[in-house]
Amino acid sequence: MASPTTSELLELTAAGALRRIDEGELPADEVFDAYAEVAAAEELNAYLWRAEPGTRPTPPSADESEQLRGLPVAVKDLFCTEGIKTTAGSRILEGYRPPYTATAVRRLSQAGARVLGKTNMDEFAMGSSNENSAYGPVLNPWDRARVPGGSSGGSAAAVAGRLAPWAIGTDTGGSIRQPASLCGIVGLKPTYGAISRYGMVAFASSLDQCGPLTRDVTDAALLLRAMEGRDPLDSTSVGIDGGVELPSREDLGGLRVGVARDFSHHAEGVEPGVAETFERSLATIEQLGGSIEEIELPHAEHGISAYYVLAPAEASANLARYDGVRYGLRVDGVADLVAMYERTRARGFGLEVKRRIMLGTYALSSGYYEAYYGSAQKVRTLIARDFERAFERCDLVVTPTSPSVAFELGARTADPLAMYLSDYFTVPMSLAGIPAISIPAGLAEPPGGGTPLPVGLQLAAPAFAESRLLDAAHALELAIDFQERPA
């Protein structure tokens, strides 16, 4: 077979590109350069930093057994990369070059991947539309008047817009799954503890988890396999016992798939197009031999409320280190230390970040702690128990990923609560620490009509059952056969 044209090359999945590299049909450097060129000319504002075409970043291990053969990977700008500027989408880290590299990125490099670029994101991963980046919003490749979702919006737009073969992002309450859904790609949030958080700029430490954004389920498994594992630098990391199998299932025979109608069907604000697509997905599951089990997740609907206490509380502490003393932005020329802190943080943080710092500080304050943080922790425990009970009766749980398709830029910026509800379906899994994946389930017209846009289906599995989750997602992916591409 002749070597592919650039446009063919950009359509390949990572696994597809690897196969061609292995078969000698495609030089690995050509893949890197092709992506470096399109990334350099991109118009989605997906990247905050790009490797130059023609540069040959030397992977730390040039081991023959390396699996990823020099393939480019886009990395959310929340991961520290030694010597490469890392902003977390914030002005407060302007000019910051980390002295070290995040474990997840280091593992990818050791597996032979090369960092193609650092992707735009909502500031400190706080947002569901990527409009909270200090470096401007990312545009959705399906419709540039719409948001790509967030907070890993740059990674999702880059993969969907053929600006990267694949990418990594982070998910705290839906930040991988929701943009994957809005951009028509695959996004996996692994079990909390599967991948090291070392070097990932912290937002909410008990929820943050790194994961892949890819063109298909097999690519997600490949990235997960390269990154998962216990890291001595992260006490909460455990890895996935038994490793990650590449998915192979083509049916769902014998699998019990749980649907919590109270949670997924009767929720307010679910767009009709999303609901219809979800119903079609349930039918597909049954056609593949899976059985639909009615389950209850009685506390899941309180997930958003608990999340918006816990995540800001942790964030208020995690973001306190940005004080202008040691790195990043500092506003000088003020009278004293406290004024320097205040001016630096006032100028360095955006509105949403400030809002969450205020919320979190309040929730942890003496006299309010039990009422807010204490109650939210109880809700979190109840939601985790809901899933444990559900998984006694089923193997997987499915929901829509997002209540809506991609919305227009600016549509929700004035209404934080409406924005927070974007994560209604994804937050409960984050609180429970269990793995969940979003795969493209079809296209639906946005309310009021217009170009059809991607709709995601979310599958969730018990903790560390990633192989089961990926297998089922693979079977559904084959059956759904989502072939549409952004124009």
Partner 1 sequence: MTTENGWRQRYEPVIGLEIHVQLSTRTKMFCGCELSFGEQPNLHTCPICLAHPGSLPVTNEQAVRYALQIALALDCEIAPRSIFHRKNYFYPDNPKAYQISQYDIPLATAGRLGDVRIHRVHLEEDAAKLVHVSASGRIHGSGSSLVDFNRGGTPLVEIVTEPDLDDPATAREWLQLLRTTIKQIGVSDVNMEEGSLRCDANVSLRPVGADALGVKAELKNMNSFRFLERGINAELERQAALLDAEEQVEQETLHFDPRSGELTPLRSKEYAHDYRYFPEPDLVPLAPTEAMLSEARESLPELPASRRERYLAELELADKQATQLAFDADLGAYFEAALAAADGTTPKVIANWVTGELVASLREAKADDADPASSRVSPDALAKLAGMVERKEISTGAARRVLATLVAEGGDPTRIVEREGLGQLDDSGELEAIVARAVESDPEAAARVRDGNMKAIGPLVGFVMRETKGRADGGEVTRLIRERLGLG
Active site residues: 76, 151, 175
55 or 235: CB nearest partner 1? 235
**Which span sits near partner 1 by CB under 8 A: 211-219, 242-250, 310-318, 411-419?**
310-318
152 or 399: CB nearest partner 1? 152
- Answer yes or no whether residue 287 interacts with partner 1 by CB under 8 A: no
Instruction: Compute the C-alpha angle 227/320/137, nearest 5°.
Output: 65
* Cβ-based neighbour number of residue 233 at 10 Å: 12
Buried/exposed code over 277-316 (b: 16+ C-beta within 10 A; e: otherwise):
bbebbbebbeebebeebebebebbbbbbebbbbbbbbbbb
Q: Binding partner 1 by CB under 8 A: which of 326, 370, 414, 483? A: 326
114: part of which helix (H) or strand (E)? strand 114-119
90 or 277: CB nearest partner 1? 90
Smallest distance from the beta carbon of 89 to partner 1, in angstroms? 12
Smallest distance from the beta carbon of 319 to partner 1, in angstroms? 9
Strand pairing report for 396-400 and 256-259: parallel
79 or 263: CB nearest partner 1? 79
**Which span sits near partner 1 by CB under 8 A: 79-87, 240-248, 393-401, 415-423?**
79-87
Measured CA to CA, the distance from residue 381 to residue 397 in angstroms comes to 18
Contacting partner 1 within 188-247 (CB under 8 A):
197-202, 204-206, 232-236
**Which span sits near partner 1 by CB under 8 A: 56-64, 151-159, 174-182, 365-373?**
365-373
Question: Is-cis flag, bond preceding 109, omega within 30?
Answer: no
Measured CA to CA, the distance from residue 463 to residue 191 in angstroms comes to 6
How many residues interact with partner 1 (rule CB under 8 A)?
45
Q: Binding partner 1 by CB under 8 A: which of 18, 244, 313, 444? A: 313
Q: Binding partner 1 by CB under 8 A: which of 47, 49, 79, 142? A: 79
- Answer yes or no whether residue 316 interacts with partner 1 by CB under 8 A: yes
**Which span sits near partner 1 by CB under 8 A: 176-184, 334-342, 463-471, 472-480?**
334-342
Smallest distance from the beta carbon of 321 to partner 1, in angstroms? 5
21 or 88: CB nearest partner 1? 88
To the nearest 10°, report the CA torsion of 354, 356, 358, 362.
-170
Measured CA to CA, the distance from residue 77 to residue 33 in angstroms comes to 21
Q: Residue 192: exposed, middle, or buried by beta-carbon count in 10 A (0-12, 13-18, 19+)?
A: buried
Measured CA to CA, the distance from residue 405 to residue 379 in angstroms comes to 28
119: part of which helix (H) or strand (E)? strand 114-119
Q: Give the x-and-dash track for 101-130 against partner 1 (CB under 8 A).
A: -x----------------------------
232 or 242: CB nearest partner 1? 232
> What 3-state DSSP class applies to 174?
coil
129 or 196: CB nearest partner 1? 196
Q: Binding partner 1 by CB under 8 A: which of 145, 246, 275, 327? A: 327
Smallest distance from the beta carbon of 371 to partner 1, in angstroms? 14
On whether the CB atoms of residues 247 and 470 are closer than 8 A, the answer is yes
Residues 6+ apart with CB under 8 A from 219: 13, 14, 15, 165, 166, 186, 212
| 211: β partners | 169
* Cβ-based neighbour number of residue 362 at 10 Å: 14
- Answer yes or no whether residue 83 interacts with partner 1 by CB under 8 A: no
**Which span sits near partner 1 by CB under 8 A: 51-59, 244-252, 274-282, 335-343?**
335-343
- Answer yes or no whether residue 55 interacts with partner 1 by CB under 8 A: no
Q: Binding partner 1 by CB under 8 A: which of 338, 414, 417, 487? A: 338
203 or 424: CB nearest partner 1? 203
Measured CA to CA, the distance from residue 8 to residue 10 in angstroms comes to 5
User: Given the structure tokens 């009685």, which residue do they identify?
Assistant: 298
* Residue whose C-alpha is closest to residue 347's, from 362, 360, 332: 332
Strand pairing report for 291-294 and 256-259: parallel
Instruction: Compute the C-alpha angle 360/365/367, nearest 5°.
Output: 135
Contacting partner 1 within 441-470 (CB under 8 A):
none
- Answer yes or no whether residue 86 interacts with partner 1 by CB under 8 A: yes
120 or 214: CB nearest partner 1? 120
Q: Binding partner 1 by CB under 8 A: which of 145, 267, 364, 411? A: 364
Q: Which residues bind partner 1 (CB under 8 A)?
A: 78-80, 86, 88, 93, 96, 98-100, 102, 197-202, 204-206, 232-236, 313-314, 316-317, 320-323, 325-327, 337-338, 341, 361, 364-366, 369, 373
